Amino acid sequence: MKRIIRLFGMWGVALGAVWLAGARRRARERGAPLRDVMSHDLRGFVTHRFNPLVIRLGLAGGRRSPWAIVEHVGRTSGTTYRTPILPMVTGAHAFIPLTYGMDVHWVKNVKAAGHCRIQLHETILELDEPAIIGASENPFVPPSLRGAMDRSGRKYLRLHVLERVPGTFVRRGPERAVEPAVGPAEIHLPALNMLHPAEQPSPEAVTA
């Protein structure tokens, strides 16, 4: 896992330099602020490249992975999706940074349903009571930084932890990426199940 993360870091530095040069060129051509061009490019990269890769390589939700997976249901389609996130969890609550704002699909889905599930370190967390909060209400943010982060507009999704169950999400059937309007990629899962690690099928059985 550590080797894979290091490789991601090395490739990220190289690709980042190329991307920044291209963003500057496009900003000049369009007469647009560099920040807007970079934000648009970054959102597209995360949506269509990075998040699907994190999911497919199994880098989210593992015992040592910094990423978790939030499972949520489309508020109009009823389809189940997974999105990689970086939550901070206490005994009673989980706090998820809203890097791309409050209008991304997965946040809207969780708020509409009133509940969701997260796979974190091979544990399933059942969550409810979603609420958008500022940095001053997040105990993980140092008190010395809360005022500045509130003024910058930093927001978090706070969720109440109902239950913790050892296990992981198990995929049945092929997965495919779907394109949200904005925000991280969401993965279509035709059917989901939750098994204790001892009951999980072998990789050959899952991919068969």
Model pLDDT for residues 125-153, shown as the tens digit of each residue: 999 999 999 999 999 999 999 999 999 99
Instruction: Say what the pLDDT of residue 3 is.
Output: 73
Angle between helices 34-45 and 2-30 (to 10 degrees): 140
β-bridge mates for residue 119, sequence order: 69, 124
Residue 47 DSSP code: I
Residue 204 DSSP code: H
Q: Is the pLDDT of residue 179 over 50?
A: no
* Strand, coil or helix: 175: coil
- Other C-beta atoms closer than 10 Å to the C-beta of 4 total 11
Closest by Cα among 105, 97, 3 to 57? 3
Mean per-residue pLDDT, 5-20: 76
Percent residues over pLDDT 90 in the chain: 39
Instruction: Say what the pLDDT of residue 174 is.
Output: 35
Mean per-residue pLDDT, 65-75: 91
21-25, 28-32, 42-46, 127-131: which range is least confident on average?
42-46
Instruction: Say what the pLDDT of residue 47 is.
Output: 66
pLDDT band at 101 (very low <50, low <70, confident <90, very high): confident
Instruction: Say what the pLDDT of residue 183 is.
Output: 39
Contacts of 74 (CB under 8 A, 6+ apart): 80, 81, 105, 109
pLDDT band at 48 (very low <50, low <70, confident <90, very high): low
Q: Is the pLDDT of residue 44 over 50?
A: yes
Q: What is the mean pLDDT of the chain?
A: 77
Strands 80-85 and 186-188: antiparallel
Classify each residue of 127-141 as buried b or exposed e, where b means 16 or more C-beta atoms within 10 Å of its C-beta. Answer: beebeeebbeebeeb
Instruction: Say what the pLDDT of residue 33 is.
Output: 82
If one compares 197 and 53, the residue with the highest pLDDT of the two is 53
Mean per-residue pLDDT, 153-168: 94
Q: Is the pTM of this model over 0.85?
A: no
Q: Is the pLDDT of residue 103 over 60?
A: yes
Query: Alpha carbon 99 to chain centroid distance?
Result: 9
Mean per-residue pLDDT, 36-57: 71
